[in-house]
Amino acid sequence: MSDLIAIIGGTGLCDWQGAEHISSEPIETPYGEASAPLRRMRYQGSEFVFLPRHGDGHKFPPHKINYRANIWGLKSLGISQVIAVNAVGGIHPDCGTGALVVPDQIIDYSYGREHTFYDGSDGRLDHVDLGEPYSMALRRRILAAGQSEGVALVDGGVYACTQGPRLETAAEIQRLKRDGADLVGMTAMPEAGLAREAGLDYASLCLVVNPAAGLSSEPITMDDIQKVIDSGMQTVKQVLATAVSA
Q: Assign domain 6-118+129-245 to its CATH superfamily.
A: Nucleoside phosphorylase domain (3.40.50.1580)
| Overall pTM > 0.85 | yes
Please check if 169 is assigned to a binding site: no
Average pLDDT, the chain: 92
Give 115's DSSP letter: -
pLDDT digits (tens, 9 = 90+) for 77-110: 899 999 999 999 999 999 999 999 999 999 999 9
Please check if 187 is assigned to a binding site: yes
C-alpha span between 142 and 100 (Å, rounded)? 11
| pLDDT value at residue 57 | 82
C-alpha span between 84 and 75 (Å, rounded)? 15
Residue 199 — very low, low, confident or very high, per pLDDT cuts 50/70/90?
very high
10 or 167, greater pLDDT: 167
Please check if 211 is assigned to a binding site: yes
Please check if 70 is assigned to a binding site: no
Please check if 165 is assigned to a binding site: no
Please check if 21 is assigned to a binding site: no
Task: Say yes or no to pLDDT of 144 above 60.
Answer: yes
